[in-house]
Amino acid sequence: MSFQKIGVVGSGIMGSGVTEVAATTGASVLVCSRTTERADAVLVAIDQSLARQVEKGKRDVEEAAEVRRRITATTEVKDLAECDFVMETVVEDLSVKLELFATLGSVVAPTTVIATCTSTLPVIDLAMQVEHPERVCGVHFFNPVTVMALVEVVRPISASDDTIDAAIDFVRACGKEPIEVKDQAGFIVNALLFPYLNNAVRILEQGVATREGIDAAMKGGCGFPMGPFALLDLVGLDTSLAILDALYAEYADANFAPVPLLRRMVSAGQLGRKSGAGFYQYPR
């Protein structure tokens, strides 16, 4: 089964990337944002991303224009009514996602597959907001979406095989590698990655080394492409904090308890690249 009309809700870091890769499958894609400013901004971000790919020789001009022609934007969730697949990419906050799923359930057809991009939240809780919860699953892309090969396809206990198969087909059509995973907080990657990122903040707080020193150590000593603080800034400190809170809520393991410095930085609005400042500064 291949999707013809895809809706993407949310126009942040992930919404923009998911919209772009979804359009490469040949489907038309409608991205839904809360404001016209954000909807316009996401289209500009996609234009810039496609232009970069043309510059780097990854796509030719005509192909990039064809992808872009398939993308439109709206501020009305009801405009997603005709979609046969909807991807949710809004903020990592369970109450926001629960409300959105209830709305989506009342807007789209009962056969529409609905997926969440959540990093850690229980997909089953979202599934239970809609009639026919068997058509809900997780499709967890990684950041930056256009670059990262892996997608975790999350199977809540309610999902049908048809839903999981359709999600896997979609991921492959996006040119990505799907890995099926159980609906358990953090799935594979974040369950393993976030104790490491959290402990990096802990040793920074303890004064073991500078942030530059810790980043350089993990690149040079482990062969990682970027250090923990560059990665936290890329993910977003607010999203990282929400991920750690959800992991701690699920496992009550001290490694997941967010280090106070991270929470303080989020309170100060230091969210990483998206706000212009996090562990590093990002001139705008």
Ligand X SMILES: NC(=O)c1ccc[n+]([C@@H]2O[C@H](COP(=O)([O-])OP(=O)(O)OC[C@H]3O[C@@H](n4cnc5c(N)ncnc54)[C@H](O)[C@@H]3O)[C@@H](O)[C@H]2O)c1
Residues within the interface to ligand X (CB under 6 A)? 10-15, 34, 38, 89-92, 96, 117-119, 140-143, 235-236, 239, 274
Smallest distance, ligand X to C-beta of residue 92, A: 4
Smallest distance, ligand X to C-beta of residue 264, A: 19
Smallest distance, ligand X to C-beta of residue 50, A: 19
Structure tokens at 104: 């989506």
Specify whether the CB–CB gap between 105 and 131 falls below 8 A.
yes
State the CB neighbour count (10 A cutoff) for residue 283.
Answer: 5
Read off the DSSP letter of residue 202: H
> Which residue lies nearer to ligand X by CB, 1 or 96?
96
The residue from 140, 205, 255, 267 that is catalytic is 140
Helices assigned H by DSSP within 112-259: 123-127, 161-173, 189-205, 211-222, 228-235, 237-251
> Which residue lies nearer to ligand X by CB, 66 or 274?
274
Residue nearest to ligand X (CB): 12
Specify whether the CB–CB gap between 88 and 10 falls below 8 A.
yes
Smallest distance, ligand X to C-beta of residue 279, A: 15
Whether 190 is catalytic is yes
Smallest distance, ligand X to C-beta of residue 206, A: 26
Which distant-in-sequence residues (6+ apart) come within 8 Å of 127 by Cβ? Answer: 101, 133, 134, 136, 137, 156, 158, 159
Which distant-in-sequence residues (6+ apart) come within 8 Å of 219 by Cβ? Answer: 225, 226, 227
> Which residue lies nearer to ligand X by CB, 59 or 229?
229
Question: What distance, in Å, lies between the first and last C-alpha atoms of the chain?
Answer: 43
The residue from 11, 49, 119, 240 that is catalytic is 119
> Which residue lies nearer to ligand X by CB, 59 or 231?
231
The residue from 20, 88, 92, 152 that is catalytic is 152
Read off the DSSP letter of residue 91: -
> Which residue lies nearer to ligand X by CB, 18 or 59?
18
Smallest distance, ligand X to C-beta of residue 281, A: 19
Q: Which residue has the tokens 């404001």?
A: 35
The residue from 16, 190, 198, 240 that is catalytic is 190
Distances, alpha carbon 27 to alpha carbons 33, 125, 172, 173, in Å:
19, 28, 14, 10
Report d(CA 21, CA 38) in Å as an integer.
19
Specify whether the CB–CB gap between 33 and 15 falls below 8 A.
yes
> Which residue lies nearer to ligand X by CB, 15 or 59?
15
The catalytic site residues sit at 119, 140, 152, 190
